[in-house]
Amino acid sequence: MLIGYMRVSKADGSQTTDLQRDALLAAGVDPERLYEDHASGKKDDRPHLTACLKALRPGEDTLVVWKLDRLGRNLRHLVNTVQDLTDRNIGLKVLTGEGSAIDTTTASGQLVFGIFAALAEFERALISERTTAGLAAARARGRSGGRPFKMTAAKVRLAMAGMGQSETNIGELCKELGVTRQTLYRHVSPTGELRPDGQKVLTKHPAKSSR
């Protein structure tokens, strides 16, 4: 059975799915088997796409979309989605646009998708290579990559002092420090002892000696 999915970027009514709907119906999709989202392609939250993918039955259904960009947020997400469909023995058919040669129910369509998958792998390799090169360049200049610590040296010392007192309310301490319990316990033990992550923070920002 053919299942159709449609998406437009704006939810204010300025864009409609009429063109997509007509194309899907002409391709043989039952009007009762159409799913529709009004959301940007960059957003993760597309509830009707989620419902559509869950409704597809292995070995029986084929997902039909008007264009590839209606389905995936980016090339990587698209490839992962189609790979999941393939693993579940569910077909994908694209009606028009750059991906119109994709029809995973046919041998030639699977070949075209294989090219897309190879391009996605190439994209991942490039991103990884650029990230590694960027971190190496930063280290060479005395900078380290990654997100900054949520815990500062001052917060670690306050946490050590607070956790060392039996009357301390952990929830209130976390609120005062602006961190989660998980972050707090990763830096300081329940008895106020310094843990490895806390040691890293203090090593990076040692206390200044007074004169």
Instruction: List active site positions.
Output: 9
Q: How far apart are CA 154 and CA 197, in angstroms?
A: 14
Report yes or no: 83 and 117 within 8 Å, Cβ to Cβ.
Answer: yes
Separation between Cα atoms, residue 178 and residue 175, nearest integer Å: 5
Q: Letter for the amino acid at 76?
A: R
Amino acid at 167: E
Give the count of beta carbons closer than 10 Å to the beta carbon of residue 32.
5
Instruction: Tell me whether strands 62-65 and 2-8 are parallel, antiparallel or unpaired.
Output: parallel
Using CA atoms, how far apart are residues 37 and 14, in angstroms rounded to an integer?
A: 14
**Partners of residue 2 on adjacent β-strands:** 62
Best CA proximity match to 5, nearest among 44, 43, 42, 54: 54
